[in-house]
A = this chain, B = another copy of it.
Amino acid sequence: MMNEAIPAVTPLVRSLPATIPFVGPEAIERRTGVEFRARLGANESVFGPSPRVVEAMRQAASESWSYGDPEVHELRLAIARHHGLPPEAISVGEGIDGLLGLLVRMTITPGDTVVTSFGGYPTFNYHVTGHGGVLVTVPYRDDAEDLDGLLAKAKQTRPKLLYFANPDNPTGSWHEADAVERLILETPPETILILDEAYGDLAPPSALPAISLLRPNLVRFRTFSKAYGLAGIRVGYAVGDPSLIAQFDKVRNHFGISRVSQVAALAALSDQDYLRETVERIAAARQRLSQIAVAAGLRPLASGTNFVAIDCGGDGAHARRILEGVLRRGVFIRMPGTAPLDRLIRVTVGRDSELDLFAEALSGALEEAHVR
């Protein structure tokens, strides 16, 4: 009804729901009036960025009167050097979310097919639906993406895009590089394979195909939001064959990355020692988080990320009761929205003090859930 008043808006956009792929913890706090004591739901890194990054951002703050470089030249060069690739193989964007949106816009017209896992990354689905694409989904298998199933579906439907996250969100599972390489090589040539490696820095090195493996129909995504501890700056990048990467320049918001964010990402990249330390801290915290789940009688899934998915051993309603109990106790966590993954709760790693809070909240929530 409301939209009848604005005929200029396309029928496609008029038909879209006004949903937000993820509700932020701030919105939950506003709704419940309870302030979270631990923020373990958005797969951010509580260990934060290198102190050198924070210092560089503070220095750069006073330069914010000027636009950041629209070519993101220095950062792009530094990323290329880091991977031993030409800068033409890199495009920097406003987080992987922003780059996914651009890639969907570059490829999808209404009615085009896209293959992904059922229960996979909601923000990708949001972009596909927003451009009128048709999602064809393949169920998870043993709480991991079904690589062979996805490949078979791609060969059958010849989609424009095939989405594969390695390691995966929300399960934390991963596939080994040789399997991923097979996926890359066997993806139909008319399909672009999206290899979302947001958690790549946190995965076993054996899970990552050589970054030099470029194909005109392959794009890999990396980010500063996870291991580098900089979710708040919104910087991610695409790695791919220069012929594909060049397309981003035709559609991106050239002045879209803030000056302070460019400085922050550059400083983060230059402190690889800090990254290594953080990866170790995250691995240790992941182990402790898994132990907390086991101690509570639940089953943690193996994870190559900065979070652990915990099987609550019941159905979606049961897991949701536990989730809500944990939230009520001031600990922000999330859970997948669709069966069968909705048996899981997803908990980001934290410092010992935060994991203590989670352990306590989980214990209380479980007690409450079983009493009912």
A interface residues (Cβ-Cβ under 8 A, vs B): 2-3, 5-10, 13-14, 16-18, 20-24, 26-27, 30, 39, 42, 44-49, 53-54, 57-58, 61-71, 73, 94-95, 97-98, 101, 105-109, 123, 130, 160-161, 189-192, 216-217, 225, 229-234, 241, 243-244, 246-247, 249-251, 253-261, 264
Contact = CB atoms under 8 A, between A and B. Distances in A.
Given A6-B217, A258-B233, A44 B27 contact: no
Given A232-B258, A243-B3, A247-B13, A253 B64 contact: no
A269 to B, nearest CB: 15
Contact of A70 (B16, B17, B18, B22): B22
B65 A45 contact: yes
A282 to B, nearest CB: 12
A66 B44 contact: yes
A106 B13 contact: yes
A30 B73 contact: yes
State the copy count for this chain.
2
Nearest to A244: B6
Contact of A250 (B18, B61, B65, B101): B18
B192 A8 contact: yes
Contact of A255 (B58, B62, B66, B95): B95
Q: Ordered nearest first, which 7 A-B pairs have the shortest CB separation?
A: A232-B259, A64-B232, A57-B61, A48-B65, A5-B216, A16-B250, A26-B69
A161 B8 contact: yes
A30 B67 CA distance: 16
A190 to B, nearest CB: 5
A61 B61 contact: yes
Contact of A5 (B63, B98, B243): B243
Given A8-B217, A61-B260, A65-B232, 16 more contacts: A8-B107, A18-B249, A20-B70, A21-B254, A22-B254, A26-B69, A44-B67, A46-B65, A54-B62, A63-B232, A65-B230, A66-B231, A67-B232, A95-B255, A105-B105, A234-B257
Nearest to A45: B65
A255 to B, nearest CB: 6
Contact of A24 (B7, B70, B233): B70
A7 B54 CA distance: 43
Contact of A256 (B5, B95, B192, B247): B95
Contacts of A14: 247
A123 B253 CA distance: 9
Given A9-B107, A54-B62, A94-B253, A260 B244 contact: no
Nearest to A74: B26
A254 B22 CA distance: 8
Contacts of A232: 63-68, 258-260
Nearest to A70: B24
A229 B66 CA distance: 8
A73 B28 CA distance: 12
